[in-house]
Amino acid sequence: MSKIFDLSGKVALVTGASSGLGLHFARTLAAHGAAVGVTARRRERLESLVGELHGAGRKAAAVAMDVMSSESIRAGYDAAEAALGPIDIVVNNAGISIVKPALEMPEADWDEVVNTNLRGAWLVAQTAAQRMVAAKRGGRIVNIASILGLRTIGQVAPYNAAKAGLLHLTRALAMDWARYGIQVNAISPGYIETEMNQAFWQTAAGKRLIDRVPQRRLGKPAELDGALLLLASDAGAFMTGANIVVDGGHTVNSL
């Protein structure tokens, strides 16, 4: 069997890992050999996942981290590194969305969405890079963006803007940090079904959105694994500043 996606000996950190795609990404990285630090604002939400990974013979640690706070991010890195060692791979997954018409969007809601999805991703990436540079070791940063950074839908203006910003930030950091051996790339998922959104896809509005996807179906979390492992492993050693779109043709259909 090919070892091209082997992550043995690597340490990964996944933000927003208590549910949804973050939880899935942590499982995927661990299954391919990485020790995984999983983060969320409330550490207790992560204990079940860590127990599951330990039961599978994998190394993992639960870490409290609020990406809105640079102090919390630094403390989270300290805890992850103390438990697992220096971090090689960061999956910048933490994010939120608030659904409201732009005319009625309160300033506080705008700030919360943009600060979590864009400022938080920047702070997590910067902290990772600072430590990688100080240790004179490269690393991989994978930003989880969205097709809504490439196209838009209604009532999520700050999310659209933040994900577009995250894609451009990915390119900027890739250019700045390539000299240090740090690769910065992004994945833009389309409509992916998770436990958190299953109910919506059964509604009339959800079904209308599915009808716009050329493959006429939702994606599954496992269908992001190829992109994740490519960018996290030596298979993607000559990639930086890239964005991999995994969306069943949705963005192509919207051009």
Sorted by where each begins, the domain ranges of the chain are 11-253
Per-residue pLDDT of the chain (255 residues; tens, 9 = 90+): 458 999 999 999 999 999 999 999 999 999 999 999 999 998 998 999 999 999 999 999 999 999 999 999 999 999 999 999 999 999 999 999 999 999 999 999 999 999 999 999 999 999 999 999 999 999 999 999 999 999 999 999 999 999 999 999 999 999 999 999 999 999 999 999 988 788 889 999 889 989 999 999 999 999 999 999 999 999 999 999 999 999 999 998 665
Rounded CA gap, 199 and 127, in Å?
A: 37
- The neighbour count for residue 48, using CB atoms within 10 Å, is 12
Rounded CA gap, 199 and 29, in Å?
A: 28
Active site residue 159: yes
Distance of CA 8 to the CA centre of its chain: 20
DSSP 3-state helix, strand, coil percentages of the chain (rounded to 5)? 50, 15, 35
The CATH homologous superfamily of the domain defined by 11-253: NAD(P)-binding Rossmann-like Domain (3.40.50.720)
77, 159, 180, 191: which one is catalytic?
A: 159
Query: Which pTM value belongs to this model?
Result: 0.96
